[in-house]
Structure 1
Amino acid sequence: MPHPDLPVRVPAMPFLAADVGGTFARVALMQACHDEGRQVEVLAYRKLPCAEFEGLAELLQSFVDSEVRTSVRHGVLACAGHVKGDEVLNDNSPWPIHLAQLRHAMGWDDVAVLNDFEALGYALGNGSVGASRLLCGPAAQAEGPVLVIGPGTGLGAAVRLPIAAGGHVLATEAGQMDFAPGSIREREVLAHLAPHGGYVAYERIVSGPGLLTLYAALCALHGETPELATPEAITVAAAACSDPRAVEAMEIFCGSLGSFAGSLAMIFMTTGGVYLAGGFLHSMFTLLERSAFEKRFLHGRSVHAFLSRVPVWVTEHGRNGVLGAAQWYLRRGVP
């Protein structure tokens, strides 16, 4: 993870970095590395299901007990949502996260927190597409802001500014924006979800649970009983064209994701490209390719010329969250 403005004062001892999602937490034991071309060394790494633990402290302690053979006094968390006072506020968190309690339970001197997509922005916005797959747009990358989007348990987004502007990452709550239907069918779905009007967030449609919501709404509109109970089952059925409601739900999901990504790309003028992050999207790459994603991403009229020059990549989430969190932590410096 090259980073030209690494502060002189970095932790000499290993520290924990955790990327905490609504379903899984990815935890790593990290250490600053001064080898040329590399900044962070991963000493140990595990992906743990949140549902198996009573709280974040128990999950982190399980990792320490099984993987760590040295003293750890510092940690950094990449979490969805934002910090208010001592608490991480996130509607999709599997348990409450209170920083003072966590610091005491782990016996740490310090715990730092950043948004999970802010962490992804630091990892993915460094000019290297790695194992990413090009979905649409030109393969060549230009200098400029980079947008990172990921539908999972919720819908996250962040923007990395170019190096000339400091390379900082702006966290957002873009997933909470009002859903904007792009077709008559989507208007019918929105009316079903909010029959008396009111607020429906994008993440209620464009997320793993959102795909399930779409499927159930479409079944209701057709007067049918839903037969599929998980986003994974809907994705498989859509790929096999074995369930017409699953196919329709996936079409709306992909089209809405395209509109959402295109709108944010316009707002931030992301000439550096757009990353769609997460194993959920990576596993449905073919469905995205043949969907209305690109058409909806490009929008229309004069903005089409700009958006057609913006590359859109699909990438695995993988270790990027913990790597980006560690990069930010080293840049921030340790108290």
Structure 2
Amino acid sequence: MSQYALVTDIGGTNARFALYDLATNELSAITKILISKNDILLTLIKDYLASQSVTVEMACIAIACPIDDEDVINMTNNDLSFSRSELIQALNLIKLEVINDFTAVSMSIPLLSKEDLIKIGGDEPNLNYPIAIYGAGTGLGVSHLIKIKQHWISLSGEGGHTELPMTSEDEDRILDQLRKKFGRVSTERFLSGNGIVNIYQALLQINEQPIEALTPDIIVKNALSKSCPLCLQTLTYFCTFMGRFGGNLALTLNTQGGVYIAGGIVPRFIEFFKSSPFREAFEHKGRMSYLVKKIPVYVITHEDPGLLGAGVYLQNSLK
């Protein structure tokens, strides 16, 4: 049997590939590519394996979309799709696991060190309670971990597609602008790269300014340099909404084991995030505020928690 398994972490923008050592639980040959419109997953995998001059017999595909029992998997935020049976046959696999990308991220949590995390408030975690994981990138991923007889079990879901409540008239105005654009407005419309743009353009409309097609990176850059008041306001709202949504997750399963933030956006402005209204919004839960105040929040700074977690998931499935 091959020593290595293939693991992937496929998001709406980037795809990551690595080899997972089934003996040592270590990652190697990590490769990141930008997904283009016409990419075919099987071709991407074959190219990657050819570049490493290895054959694998097992794989775990972590991908940003709902996972069910259907053979064909279709992504939410891009056009990539694939057939499980085709992958198994074309790659001569004896085992293939396909999981949600945040299921993979959640499975990495027990293996992360203090160096992989930045703590933002709260007490020490109580690991007899569940853990919540969420993160903004191209979309908004959500998962939970619960411990059963000393084993961590991941609860996957599509929590990013729930609605986000507004708590002030100013926020109502932002939501009203997004309703005009989308009809139903999910939390992902606020908490994602496109969400940053959505908030910014809503503020432009509220302030009767012409729409600008700025990218999320430019909005964040302008906010951090304080060169654009509306960009600064946008990033502040983003952090506030991240806190409110995280606090909602904390209450849903009483996640005294901690709340973990993944995704590629927040680590880009971690100092701003720490001093933003994030924690205040996280804790602002009325009669339940006393409970949420205890719960620690961690930002994951590990480069590839999805790849690591995909390997852990595959390893656990073999047991």
TM-score by length of 1: 0.88
One-letter identity of the residue aligned with 1:30? Y
Provide the C-alpha distance between the structure 1 equivalents of 2:215 and 2:263, rounded to a whole number of angstroms.
17
Provide the C-alpha distance between the structure 2 equivalents of 1:22 and 1:197, rounded to a whole number of angstroms.
19
Deviations 1:176-210 (A, max 9, x none): 10121122222111111214995210001111111
Unaligned runs of 5+ in 2: none
Q: From 53, 58, 66, give the equivalent of 1:82.
A: 66
- List structure 1 runs of 4+ shifted beyond 6 angstroms: none
Deviations 1:68-94 (A, max 9, x none): x23212211011222341122432134
Aligned 8 A contact 1:127 1:141 in 2: no
CA-CA distance at 1:53 after TM superposition: 6.2
Shift in alpha-carbon separation, 1:164–1:308, aligned structure 2, 3 A: farther
Shift in alpha-carbon separation, 1:53–1:102, aligned structure 2, 3 A: farther
Q: Hey, what does 1:21 align to over in structure 2?
A: 11
Aligned 8 A contact 2:138 2:193 in 1: yes
Q: Hey, what does 2:55 align to over in structure 1?
A: 71
| Larger displacement relative to structure 2 (310-319 or 146-155) | 310-319
Q: Hey, what does 1:32 align to over in structure 2?
A: 22
Unaligned runs of 5+ in 1: 1-10, 34-38
Provide the C-alpha distance between the structure 2 equivalents of 1:208 and 1:64, rounded to a whole number of angstroms.
31
Provide the C-alpha distance between the structure 1 equivalents of 2:164 and 2:13, rounded to a whole number of angstroms.
24
Provide the C-alpha distance between the structure 2 equivalents of 1:199 and 1:52, rounded to a whole number of angstroms.
26
Shift in alpha-carbon separation, 1:137–1:185, aligned structure 2, 3 A: same
Aligned 8 A contact 2:161 2:187 in 1: yes
Aligned 8 A contact 1:278 1:318 in 2: no
Deviations 1:278-317 (A, max 9, x none): 2311111122122211111002333111111111111125
Provide the C-alpha distance between the structure 1 equivalents of 2:12 and 2:311, rounded to a whole number of angstroms.
20
One-letter identity of the residue aligned with 2:223? A
Shift in alpha-carbon separation, 1:53–1:110, aligned structure 2, 3 A: farther
Provide the C-alpha distance between the structure 2 equivalents of 1:197 and 1:24, rounded to a whole number of angstroms.
25
CA-CA distance at 1:105 after TM superposition: 3.8
Aligned 8 A contact 1:30 1:44 in 2: no
Whether 2:89 is the aligned partner of 1:99: answer no
Q: From 287, 290, 293, give the equivalent of 2:275.
A: 290
Shift in alpha-carbon separation, 1:44–1:58, aligned structure 2, 3 A: same
- 3-state DSSP of counterpart to 1:141: coil
One-letter identity of the residue aligned with 2:242? L
Q: Hey, what does 1:272 align to over in structure 2?
A: 257
Provide the C-alpha distance between the structure 2 equivalents of 1:196 and 1:59, rounded to a whole number of angstroms.
35
How many aligned residue pairs are there?
A: 317
Provide the C-alpha distance between the structure 2 equivalents of 1:197 and 1:19, rounded to a whole number of angstroms.
28
Q: From 8, 33, 47, give the equivalent of 1:48.
A: 33
CA-CA distance at 1:26 after TM superposition: 1.3
Q: Hey, what does 1:178 align to over in structure 2?
A: 163
Q: What RMSD in Å do the two structures reach over aligned CA positions? A: 2.1
Provide the C-alpha distance between the structure 2 equivalents of 1:186 and 1:330, rounded to a whole number of angstroms.
45
One-letter identity of the residue aligned with 1:252? Y
Q: Hey, what does 1:169 align to over in structure 2?
A: 154
Aligned 8 A contact 1:125 1:160 in 2: no
Q: Hey, what does 2:203 align to over in structure 1?
A: 218
Provide the C-alpha distance between the structure 1 equivalents of 2:158 and 2:302, rounded to a whole number of angstroms.
19
Q: Hey, what does 1:116 align to over in structure 2?
A: 101
| Larger displacement relative to structure 2 (150-159 or 316-325) | 316-325
Whether 2:247 is the aligned partner of 1:257: answer no
Shift in alpha-carbon separation, 1:206–1:101, aligned structure 2, 3 A: same
Provide the C-alpha distance between the structure 2 equivalents of 1:300 and 1:148, rounded to a whole number of angstroms.
19
Provide the C-alpha distance between the structure 2 equivalents of 1:204 and 1:15, rounded to a whole number of angstroms.
35
CA-CA distance at 1:25 after TM superposition: 1.1
One-letter identity of the residue aligned with 2:31? R
Higher helix share: 2
Q: 1:236-255, aligned counterparts within 5 Å? A: 236-255=221-240
Whether 2:137 is the aligned partner of 1:152: answer yes
Provide the C-alpha distance between the structure 2 equivalents of 1:165 and 1:305, rounded to a whole number of angstroms.
28
Provide the C-alpha distance between the structure 2 equivalents of 1:97 and 1:136, rounded to a whole number of angstroms.
41
Provide the C-alpha distance between the structure 2 equivalents of 1:285 and 1:196, rounded to a whole number of angstroms.
30
Shift in alpha-carbon separation, 1:156–1:309, aligned structure 2, 3 A: same
One-letter identity of the residue aligned with 1:188? R
Aligned 8 A contact 2:5 2:22 in 1: no
One-letter identity of the residue aligned with 1:73? E
Provide the C-alpha distance between the structure 1 equivalents of 2:243 and 2:199, rounded to a whole number of angstroms.
16
Shift in alpha-carbon separation, 1:284–1:28, aligned structure 2, 3 A: same
One-letter identity of the residue aligned with 2:16? R
